[in-house]
Structure 1
Amino acid sequence: MNCINRRYLMYISQNYSYAILRPLQQYILSQGGEVRWFLEGDEVNPSFLSDAEIQITRVSDVIQWNPDAVFVPGNMVPNFIPGLKVAVFHGFNAGKINRRGRLDHFEIRGCFDLYCTQGPETTLPFQRLAEKYKYFEVAETGWSALDPLFNKDLDNPYIDTSDTRPTVLMCSTFSRNLSCAPVLFEKIKELSLKGNWRWLIQFHPKMPQDVVEKYKALQNDNLQFIETDNVLPLLKAADVMLCDTSSVLIMFLMQIKPVVTFRNVSPQPYLLNVTDIDKVESMLTTALHMTSEDKHFIEEYVNSIHPYSDGMSSERVVSEVNQMLQLGRTVKKPMNLVREIKLRKKLSYWKL
């Protein structure tokens, strides 16, 4: 089913969402559909939009445009915006527990008609939830954000063919109790000055600014700090990742490359976890000489969470959406007045 005469809204609230939705946009446009962007809140930068991308700035204009479907890489979207609400996720299930004591990845907030899951590990739990709540559907499609990961780069600014040293990519979550960045600062400083490896550093956009500034000050011939809305080129440029409990490590594993974690809350066989700062260097060295057993553990895990390496997840997502639109398979979602009021207040929209 093609996209001709259909309208698709990209609803985002964080800068990293651009990279998640652009593969979807590319496929939709190639199939004759229309795409618009709506940016919620002040944590997303409109300057990241390209000249060819069209932004709708007012909720009233979104409603007038009347999208057929709304793609959301976040947790919530207002019910008063028209269109089939599609959850495409902002990352993988990293096992984070929310304030209610539940796995945040599987929290149902009454916003979506369709969940496009990434692989069996998340599909089965969402299917059980769909049977329980009975107002949304689940389709396993793979994650659109990873499509470019499986396509060759024509130009990757982070690959230096003249530098033959191994490249270490350090990423970190912003959560105070989980972040490795503040704890490992002195160790990273020490290792970067040794010059044995080339370092790329990239943090979650919500990382405290004081931590960001400290790492920016570390930059030298061996270490580069990068702020970007698209982490994929960094993942492709690195030989090994150093991380904590951030879900970005799962994206890195998709390439069957090793990840060293520091005090991961749920260490697994496919991760090389350390709890001692002084063991970080030796574990990175071990990772750079990955064994066949380590590779097997990673491959087994990847097959359970995202068994798609064809770069066609966006096509599968759009196909599921179009099929649902064609059949008109939607059920009225439960009303949550508190959430509705909060979203109306946030977006300054009070019309009924």
Structure 2
Amino acid sequence: MDYLAATAEKKYLMFISQNYSYAILRPLQREILARGGEVKWFLHGKTVNRDFLDESEQTLDSVDAIHDWQPDVLFAPSNSIPTFIPGVKVGVFHGFDAGKLNSKGQNDHFKVRGCFDLYCTQGPNTTAPFQALAKKHGFFQVKETGWPTLDPFFSEIENNPYKNPDDNRKTLLICSTFSKRLSLAPKLYEQIKAYSEQGKWRILVQFHPKMPSELVERYKALQNDNLTFVETDNVLPLLQAADVMLCDTSSILLMFILQRKPVVTFCNQAPGEHLIDITDVNKLTEAIDYAFTQPAELMAKIEHFCQQLHPYQDGLSSQRVLAASNELLLSNPALKPKPRNFIRNFKMRRKLNYWRW
């Protein structure tokens, strides 16, 4: 059966709670609309900005409205979603597994919360763990599809606002996670300030949206002809514009490295041969200079890593996610019931002010 053709006249809900989710789900939206499906968005929480919606994008503003619309499939780039709303629930991830560990020493990327019917994984190094979890739990399926976010990534973005053809310096992109324990932003501030004054490289800075505002303001104050602070809901053009990234343990580094470009990390939680990881700030400049040379040995290790992380460079991951979702919807497999999740669902009902049963 042609599961892509089955998209016609079906309803798909994009359930988001962060601004970066727009860019994750829009390639998928394009595939749905091109095949005659219908898409609506539900913006959950106060951290997602309605101003990022395109004029053509329609929203549902309450759980009652979702029930009235009756979506066939729900896509969410989040760890958990309410199970009391209709539709086959598909997890598409909000990033790659960067090896972050929680306070209990566990990797949250592989924590199953009993919300999804299908996980669409990004590559072999996430597929195998989720397949093991699916076999253990029995209430969801796993399909390796690649990540829809990256579909536009494998073609050059026209009129990239972050490139400057009149500036022949190398471009360094600095990104950081928001966790005080993991973030390079407070630890490397003085060094980055010095770089902004030296002008050796063209520097772009972009932080996780949950970064403390006072730290964001400190970096914004550094802006000059050498350093630009960027706030955006779509990081893909930003990633394409840089030659090397400086990062910590943020999963955005994995998106960057898929371009086969080097990444320097500061105190990374899961350092590997594909990264240039340092723990001594005095070695930072040397490491960045080395990365700009793209040494052959490092580039070979990056290529091997990318094949495990996300081997798809055809820009068709959204099609694979859509086909897998339609297949699950139409085949109606005999999955075990999801766990009740009384406490989590009660909290969700309270947040959404929804008490209809």
TM-score under structure 2 length normalisation: 0.97
1:177-216 → structure 2 map (5 Å cutoff): 177-216=181-220
1:36 aligns with 2:45: no
Once the 2 structures are TM-superposed, how far is the Cα of residue 29 of structure 1 from its aligned partner?
Answer: 0.6
Q: 2:280 aligns with which of 276, 282, 302?
A: 276
Question: Is the counterpart of residue 26 in structure 1 residue 30 in structure 2?
Answer: yes
Q: Does 1:291 align with 2:290?
A: no
Who is 1:318 aligned against?
Answer: 322
Asked if residue 235 in structure 1 is aligned to residue 239 in structure 2, the reply is yes
Question: Which whole-Å CA distance do the structure 2 matches of 1:288 and 1:36 have between them?
Answer: 43
Partner Cα distance (2:69, 2:309) in 1: 36
Q: Encode CA deviations 1:223-276: one digit per residue, 9 max, x unaligned.
A: 000011111111000000000000000000000000000111221110011111
Q: How does 1:258-277 map to 2 (within 5 A)?
A: 258-277=262-281
2:100–2:270 contact (8 Å) kept in structure 1: no
Name the SS for the 2:203 alignment partner.
strand
Residue 172 of structure 1 is matched in structure 2 by 176
The CA distance in 2 between the partners of 1:186 and 1:79, in whole Å, is 46
Name the CA distance, whole Å, in 2 between partners of 1:330 and 1:231.
39
SS in 1 for 2:228: strand
2:111 aligned partner: 107
Match of 1:336 in 2: 341
What residue identity is the alignment partner of 2:345? E
Partner of 1:120: 124
Q: 2:97 aligns with which of 93, 98, 111?
A: 93
Question: Does the residue aligned with 2:93 lie in a helix, a strand or coil?
Answer: coil
Do 2:257 and 2:263's aligned partners in 1 also have CA atoms closer than 8 Å? yes
Distance 2:66 2:27 in 1: 22
1:156 corresponds to 2:152: no
Q: For 1:108 and 1:293, how far apart are their aligned partners in 2?
A: 37
Question: Identity percentage over the alignment?
Answer: 55
- Aligned residue for 1:321, secondary structure, equals helix
Pairwise CA distance, 1:309 = 0.6
Q: Secondary structure at the match of 1:153?
A: coil
Which residue pairs with 2:59 in the alignment? 55
d(CA) in 1 for partners of 2:119, 2:269? 26
How far apart, in 2, do the equivalents of 1:97 and 1:39 lie?
Answer: 28
TM-score (ref. length: structure 1):
0.99
Q: Which amino acid aligns with 2:70?
A: N
CA–CA separation in structure 1 for the residues paired with 2:105 and 2:334 = 30
The aligned amino acid for 1:223 is L
Contact 2:121 2:146 in 1 (8 A): yes
**Which residue is equivalent to 2:86?**
82
Do the aligned partners of 1:113 and 1:330 also contact (CA within 8 Å) in 2? no
SS of alignment partner, residue 183 of structure 1:
coil
State whether structure 2 residue 261 is matched by structure 1 residue 257.
yes
Tell me, yes or no, if structure 1 residue 144 matches structure 2 residue 183.
no
Q: Give the 4+ runs in structure 1 shifted more than 4 A.
A: none
Deviation, 1:334, is 1.4
Note the alpha carbon deviations across 1:63-91, whole angstroms, 9 max, x for none.
11000000010011111110000000000
The equivalent of 2:73 in structure 1 is: 69
Task: Say if 1:136 and 1:330, in contact at 8 Å, map to a contact too.
Answer: no
Aligned equivalents of 2:235, 2:98: Cα separation in 1: 17
Q: Please tell me the residue identity of whatever aligns with 2:25.
A: L
Shift of 1:330: 5.5
Number of residue-to-residue matches in the alignment:
352
Q: CA deviation at 1:100?
A: 4.2
Letter in 2 for 1:341: F
| Counterpart selection for 1:222 from 205, 226, 234 | 226
User: What CA distance in whole angstroms lies between the structure 1 residues aligned with 2:180 and 2:45?
Assistant: 23
Verify the 8 A CA contact 1:239 1:257 in the aligned structure 2.
yes
**1:280, CA displacement in angstroms?**
1.1
DSSP-derived class of the 1:342 partner: helix
Segments of 5+ residues of structure 2 without an aligned counterpart are none
